[in-house]
Homo-oligomer: A and B are copies of this chain.
Amino acid sequence: MDASSPAPTRRSDVARHREMLIAAATEEFTRNPEASMGDIARAAELTRATVYRHFANREALEAAIRSDALDRASGALADCRLDDGTAVEVLGRVIRALSAQAMSLRFMVLQAPDSDPEFLARRAQVLSPLADVVRRGQREGLLDDRLSPEWIVTTMASLLVAAVRAAPSPDVEVAELVHRTLMFGVAKPAGD
């Protein structure tokens, strides 16, 4: 890859169009898994032929958006300083960061349990640091240790998806609402 490939300088719009296609496909497939390649193209304001120039076939496009969603979630978690502060504070940052990736989060969480095994494995790998944070919180005495860490992570993801579905705009108040509900539930606080 030196003299044989003289100048692989790619045009700027190629990367932009690819991102537009992945974003549109993530949104369309989340809303309607039966969406056709033509639907995706139209949602991205491109044509069907161009979609096939970026992705060999439908399976390749689906693999790309799965990978993109995992990358976004992984990147969001990487910016959360998972070891700084109490586990409760960390969960607050995680909820804010993930709610900013609403579409990818919904797509990632709602994937069927019988879909691509590689995706499921990578998702478990991406989410495992969260379970570690929860375990730390249980050791710190801040999180209920009668609940399994996996259930707590599932609860957080479910609330996040539900909230983001109701208010798709990345809102700080939404993140705060999810955090409060996750931590304390819907019962009336005792001393208040």
- B184-A187 in contact (CB<8A): yes
Of B88, B110, B155, the contact of A159 (CB 8 Å cutoff)? B155
- Copy number in the complex reads 2
| Minimum Cβ distance to chain B for residue A155 (Å) | 6
Task: Using C-beta atoms within 8 Å of the partner chain, give the interface range for chain A.
Answer: 35 or more
- B31-A181 in contact (CB<8A): no
A117 / chain B contacts, CB cutoff of 8 Å: none
Q: Interface SS of chain A: helix, strand, loop or mixed? A: helix
Of B110, B161, B188, the contact of A144 (CB 8 Å cutoff)? B188
A7 sits at the interface (CB 8 A): no
CA distance A142 to B145 in the complex (A): 24
- A154-B145 in contact (CB<8A): no
A172 / chain B contacts, CB cutoff of 8 Å: none
Q: Enumerate chain A interface residues (CB-CB to B < 8 A).
A: 31-34, 88, 110, 112-114, 138, 141-145, 147, 151-152, 154-159, 161-163, 165-166, 177, 181-190
17 new A-B contacts at CB < 8 Å, known A144-B189, A183-B187: A31-B114, A88-B187, A138-B188, A142-B187, A143-B188, A144-B186, A145-B188, A147-B177, A147-B181, A151-B177, A154-B162, A155-B181, A155-B186, A156-B186, A157-B162, A184-B185, A190-B190
Can you offer 21 A-B residue contacts whose CB atoms are under 8 A?
A31-B112, A32-B33, A32-B112, A33-B34, A88-B187, A113-B165, A143-B186, A143-B187, A143-B188, A147-B177, A154-B162, A155-B159, A156-B186, A158-B158, A158-B159, A158-B161, A158-B162, A182-B185, A184-B185, A185-B185, A190-B190
